[in-house]
Amino acid sequence: MSGQTKYEEHAHLVEKMAEVLGVDLEEEAMAGRWTPEDMQDTVSRCLGCTEPSQCKGWLGSHDTGTDETPGFCRNKDLLEAMRARLVSA
């Protein structure tokens, strides 16, 4: 698998995880709360995960949404903070 393909895979996982949590990353970007650098940092953390298949399975079983990020997610704190900001708004 090429580096670009692996990056794209993890970028998709980040986007899907945010979506399942009810976080719209595009909306966050338009509001100035999410930069391309933030996305790159978040995907880089995700790239460090050794079990993306576990993430894919979790996402598949939570495709209708959830309130909690799984404990194994390397972006758990960030995504939950984003979700909490949306819920309290």
pLDDT digits (tens, 9 = 90+) for 12-39: 999 999 999 999 999 999 999 999 999 9
C-alpha angle with apex 84: 83 to 89, nearest 5 degrees?
100
Residue 9: other Cβ atoms inside 10 A:
15
Decide: helix, strand or coil at residue 62.
coil
Using alpha carbons, list the distances in angstroms from residue 79 to 3, 62, 84: 24, 15, 9
Domain boundaries, the chain: 2-88
> What are the tokens at 69?
């990020």
Query: What phi, psi does 24 have (nearest 5°)?
Result: -100, 100
Q: What is the rounded average pLDDT of the residues 30-51?
A: 94
Continuous H helices in the chain: 3-20, 25-30, 36-47, 52-61, 76-88
Q: Decide: pTM greater than 0.85.
A: yes
